[in-house]
Amino acid sequence: MGLINATVWDVEDAAEDLAYALAHGEVVRFAFKLVRDSIIFTDRRVLMIDIQGLTGSKKRFLTIPYRAITTFTLESAGHFDLDTELTLTVSGSAPIAFNVSRGADVPGLVTLLTEYLAPGK
């Protein structure tokens, strides 16, 4: 089975839809939809929302503080405007991998991860 393709989700729409799951003052920097699920990169953490069941009434929220991400890798065909595979290695957990679709600000995502994964952050 291949990786799930993540499509870009407007950060303002994501912040509005997920206001109940965000801390006061928390800013959504990047947001992606994966069929029914979503992955949100904020200024504080990575938030993964897993919609479960046929009706989608059951939701699982996973918060990953940036300090728990030990490495990240990006793999592309050589151009950031094509689909790019992103893998986050999380301490004590299985890696999280997905394809970031065209239209995503991949250089911006790299900058965010580099800044938040820097020692002392």
Average pLDDT on 62-67 reads 94
Select from 51, 35, 57, 18 the least CA-distant residue to 101. Answer: 35
Q: In the prediction, which pLDDT does 35 show?
A: 83
pLDDT in tens, 29-40: 999 998 888 999
Count of structural domains, the chain: 1
Q: Which of 9-13, 42-46, 97-101, 107-111 has the lowest mean pLDDT?
A: 97-101
1 pLDDT higher than 50: no
Q: Which domain holds residue 90?
A: 5-117
pLDDT band at 4, cuts 50/70/90? Answer: confident
Q: Per-residue pLDDT averaged across 87-98, rounded?
A: 91
pTM, whole model, 2 decimals? 0.88
Percent pLDDT > 70 in the chain is 92
Per-residue confidence (pLDDT) for residue 79, from 0 to 100: 60
What CATH number has the domain bearing residue 9? 2.30.29.50
At 78, the pLDDT band (50, 70, 90 cuts) reads low
